[in-house]
Amino acid sequence: MHSHVATPRTLLAARQRVFAESLSAQGVTAQRGVEAVPAPILRSWQRCADLGLDFGARPRVEPLSQRELREAWERNDALRRRCRPEIEALHADAQATGSLVILTDPNGLVLDTLGNPGFAGKAAQVALCPGVPWNEAATGTNAIGTALIERRAVEVRGPEHYFEPHRILSCAAMPILGLRGETLGALDLSGPAAMLQTHALGMIRLAVDAIEHRLFEAVGPGREVLRLHDDPALLGTPREGVLVFEEGRLVGANRAALSLLGLDWDALDRTDFSRLFPDAGRRQPGAIRLRDGEGRPLHARLHEEAGRAPRAPRPHAAARPAAIPAAPDVPVLDAATERLLARAVRLVDAGIPVVVEGETGTGKEVFSRAAHARCARARAPFVAVNCAALPESLIEAELFGYEPGAFTGAARHGAQGLLRQADGGLLFLDEIGDMPLGLQSRLLRVLQEREVQPVGGGRPVPVDFALICATHRDLARLVEEGAFRADLYYRIAPYRVALPPLRERRDRQEVVRALWDRLGGAARGVALAPACEAALAAAVWPGNFRQLVGTLRALLALADPGGTVELDALPEGVAQKAPRGAAPPAAPAPEPSGRLDGIAREAMRAALDAAGGNVSEAARRLGISRSTLYRRCLS
């Protein structure tokens, strides 16, 4: 009798055959099932076959003893504490939806599982519990082990698992990488395979991005941290790229930065700032403009980590200075933009969609909120959605809502969705040009039929909302390129409003004064020196209002109460001449104080006359505080 010896080739063929049969039993054509296996899964199956793992058997794993598990917890205490906010955020959904959040060490050893107790019992039957290794060598193809080897986010559903007993699972995992690309652990979301898992991978990506982003909060004294992105709106978010330099040499990075620059982890210690950015000139802390290797512009901010002083006792809440507002909630409008706003309000009241166009930071959302505040729907909700900020795997559920149990991670009672939340009010879709094509067709159907179909089925729900969309991209060109549906474009853009960039405003000095007062400059008794104010008004501001407001907030935070902000307090690059061809500030350059005071008083008296003696209205039109108007004109 001849014994049959399994080879990697025969094991892999058998695994593929069983996978195809499993999908065929679910109504999926066997051949299509084999072809549909993602490349990472196929590579993992090959590795498992090479190891001689028998996919039909139960994996032989030995859980740690309680003492060994406690030691593993102690070794990974920093990781567990670092991941706690994201795990707790995922835990609430997992507990309600029959799934588990799982944290492992760098070798795939399960450290913690949190979530639904009922599913935890089922997971324990296949040894998915603390103290058990879930690397590929021990447990075959699975999201944790495969993600750790592939060093990327991986989803493994039902029969894609190598070992047959694991077919009850549907899992999504992503490795957590350190500043030098070292693997710190993995985060996983696992649920029953019978439940549709559409958004678990997106949720895990968001959580790991946030965890890795916090690693750069303390990189050690004397090091420089460069934060960069091609979209300035994403600076300061977990999606920004981050590079760490020590004496100009690249010593740390995150995945986003390496992707932006076309680098890999091998670049650490082998390249420096001047080689990455040869046209940057001297490294200066603050906002800087860079270009990547292909000449594309990047927005960046550089700062140096100082030595950390001992932490002082936290002051009592009442002793803390008042927080500076993030941004004024009312736009600073010139006459032309005021006319655009009035038109937008009339269109919204008539049920006609509006597209607001403009560069990043020109105040498209603030403009839209102002239109909502003045329209007939002002008492109903204003619901804002940034189509570029949500992962593609989550945006559908966020917009349209979902039925209970629609996917792993879905809330127990389902979700209403943002479109239904806007019912009766105004829906603001920011960066509409970045909406995936597949969702564009669904949005068009909602606009045509005025009803929403939740993810996972259920009856359509009628909706009634006004619509304003915003974009910094040329939608007409996107239509020509096939990146945006023409029928949706014609539906949402019967009227387009173009907001001018700040550099084209002729009232920039008035804008600076108005924003300073709205941020609380006058209330804190802090003044802008005339030269400083003029320089702020003449600066280029590629980030428009967003960049100007951020600079004013920084100046206000650094100023002493009752003091004056002088020209030398401005960040590097702000105190420069306006670009050629740009309109000069409306106010004249500083002149002898007597003449300036006379001009200012005349302007204030004229504003008072125009406002019928109403001091508050005159101050609003001038963009100054009432106290300033009283002091300069009525005292």
- pTM score: 0.55
Whole-angstrom distance, CA of residue 353 vs CA of residue 489: 11
- Across 170-174, average pLDDT: 94
Give the pLDDT of residue 408: 54
Q: Please give the biggest Cα pair distance in the chain.
A: 114
Cα 497 to Cα 395: distance, rounded to the nearest angstrom:
26
At 330 the pLDDT is 60
CATH topology of domain 343-498: Rossmann fold (3.40.50)
Residue 467, pLDDT > 90, answer yes
Q: What is the pLDDT of residues 135-145, one digit of tens each?
A: 999 999 999 99
Residues 6+ apart with CB under 8 A from 316: none
Question: Hey, how many other C-beta atoms are within 10 angstroms of the C-beta on 200?
Answer: 32
Is pLDDT at 548 greater than 70 in this prediction? yes
> Could you report the per-residue pLDDT of 582-600, keeping only the tens digit for each?
444 444 333 333 333 454 5
pLDDT in tens, 490-510: 999 999 999 999 999 989 999
Q: Which of 117-121, 377-381, 483-487, 578-582 has the lowest mean pLDDT?
A: 578-582
State residue 95's pLDDT score: 72
Local confidence band at 15 (pLDDT 50, 70, 90 cut-offs): confident
| Selection from 261, 241, 238 nearest residue 253 by Cα | 241
CA-CA-CA-CA torsion sign (561, 567, 568, 573): positive
591 vs 129 pLDDT, higher one: 129
Q: Decide: 567 and 561 in contact? Cβ < 8 Å.
A: no
Q: Is the pLDDT of residue 29 over 80?
A: no
DSSP 559: S
Q: Residue 147's pLDDT is what?
A: 96
Place of tokens 């039909």: 56
Could you report the per-residue pLDDT of 322-340, keeping only the tens digit for each? 556 666 666 688 888 899 9
Judged against a pLDDT cut of 50, whether residue 528 lies above it is answered with yes
Confidence of residue 402 (pLDDT cuts 50, 70, 90): confident
Domain ranges for the chain, please list them: 1-175, 218-304, 343-498, 502-634
Percent of the chain with pLDDT over 70: 77
Q: Angle CA(232)–CA(236)–CA(239) in degrees, nearest 5?
A: 80
Give the residue, 2 or 190, on which the prediction is more confident: 190
Residue 581 makes CB contacts below 8 A (sequence gap 6+) with none
Q: Which of 93-102, 145-154, 544-553 has the highest mean pLDDT?
A: 145-154
List the end-to-end C-alpha distance of the chain, in Å, as a whole number.
114
Contacts of residue 422, defined as CB under 8 A and 6 or more positions apart, other chains included, come to: 381, 383, 463, 465
Q: How confident is the model at residue 410 (pLDDT cuts 50, 70, 90)?
A: low
C-beta of residue 243 within 8 angstroms of C-beta of residue 226: yes
| 250-308 pLDDT tens trace | 999 999 999 999 999 999 999 999 888 887 766 677 778 888 777 788 888 888 765 44
Q: For 223-252, what is each residue's pLDDT tens digit? A: 899 999 988 877 888 889 999 999 889 999
Secondary structure (DSSP) of 319-362: GSPPPPPSS-SS----HHHHHHHHHHHHHHHTT--EEEE--TTS
pLDDT (0 to 100) of residue 579: 46
Least confident of 42-51, 65-74, 306-315, 341-350: 306-315
What's the whole-number mean pLDDT along residues 196-225? 84
User: Can you tell me the mean pLDDT for 16-39?
Assistant: 60
Q: How would residue 18 be classed by pLDDT, with cut points 50, 70 and 90? A: low
Phi-psi sector, 157: left (phi>0), alpha (psi -120 to 50), beta = beta
Tokens of 125: 């039957």
* Mean predicted confidence (pLDDT) in 200-224: 87
For the segment 426-438, the average pLDDT, to the nearest whole number, is: 90
Evaluate if residue 464 carries a pLDDT over 60: yes
Q: Tell me yes or no: is domain 218-304 CATH 3.30.450.
A: yes
Q: Which residue has the tokens 């853009």?
A: 493
Q: What is the pLDDT of residue 265?
A: 93
Whether the domain at 218-304 and the domain at 343-498 fall into the same CATH topology? no
- Work out the average pLDDT over 380-388: 86
Report the CATH number of the 1-175 domain: 3.30.450.40
